[in-house]
Amino acid sequence: MAKTLINLALLYLFLFSLIVAPTKADSFSRNLSPKTLGLKREKLSHLHFYFHDTLSGENPTAVPVAQAAMTNKSSTSFGLVVMIDNPLTVKPEVNSEQVGRAQGIYASASQSEVSFLMAFNLFFTEGKYNGSTLSLLGRNSIFSGIREMPIVGGSGLFRFARGYAKAKTYMVNLKTNDAIVEYNVYVFHY
């Protein structure tokens, strides 16, 4: 009798595990230890560079690609979309050491102030971060002193990155709209 009860209990547990525990074939997600992906202790890094946004001249790095019918009538250029491939340098001079590129778009997203939706990758081309990227997505009210925008991800050495970027206008030419922006980026990564 006791042996029969044990066998029934084991059978019940086996059948219950088939019903409750998903198998790999029918599972959408599962929990992993960071170690299974080779991830070690998380680090906090500070990156400092200058972003050169050049709309003028023979070789612009920021090019308007779309605008709304009313954009030219708007005091904020609402609806303007600009594609960028801007150099990132160690110093404010455009011919100083280049450490990467900012590649993506920004768009005028406010009707009441000059404020951009920024969506771009910081692609690093020098040093230990060569080939790695950080993805930035946020609001940039360009005439504010210091603007803060989130870092929402990354690749390479910045896999699983999260953090924020502080942007401060170093120089702007109001005739050409060319600008140099100082960036301080604080990012957690593995």
In the predicted structure, residue 18 carries a pLDDT above the cut 90: no
In the predicted structure, residue 99 carries a pLDDT above the cut 80: yes
Give the pLDDT confidence score for residue 39 in this predicted structure: 80
In the predicted structure, residue 2 carries a pLDDT above the cut 80: no
Question: To which H or E segment does residue 135 belong?
Answer: strand 133-141
Q: What angle do CA 38, 44, 50 make, to 5 degrees?
A: 120
Q: Where are the domains of the chain?
A: 52-189
Burial of 174 (0-12, 13-18, 19+ CB in 10 A): exposed
Residue from 183, 187, 128 nearest 152 by CA:
187
* Spatial distance between the Cα atoms of 134 and 104, rounded to a whole number of angstroms: 12
Band (pLDDT 50/70/90 cuts) for residue 37 is confident
State in words which class domain 52-189 has. mainly beta
Beta-bridge partners for 5: none
C-alpha torsion 12→17→18→24, nearest 10:
-170
* Spatial distance between the Cα atoms of 126 and 105, rounded to a whole number of angstroms: 23
Give the pLDDT confidence score for residue 38 in this predicted structure: 81
Give the pLDDT confidence score for residue 14 in this predicted structure: 57
Give the pLDDT confidence score for residue 23 in this predicted structure: 52
In the predicted structure, residue 34 carries a pLDDT above the cut 90: no
pTM: 0.82
Segment 140-145 long-range contacts (CB within 8 Å, at least 24 positions apart): 140/106, 140/115, 140/116, 140/167, 141/110, 141/113, 141/114, 141/115, 142/114, 142/115, 142/116, 142/169, 142/179, 143/113, 143/114, 143/169
In the predicted structure, residue 7 carries a pLDDT above the cut 90: no
* Spatial distance between the Cα atoms of 45 and 91, rounded to a whole number of angstroms: 19
DSSP 8-state code for residue 27: -
Please tell me the number of Cα atoms within 13 Å of 125 on its side-chain side: 13
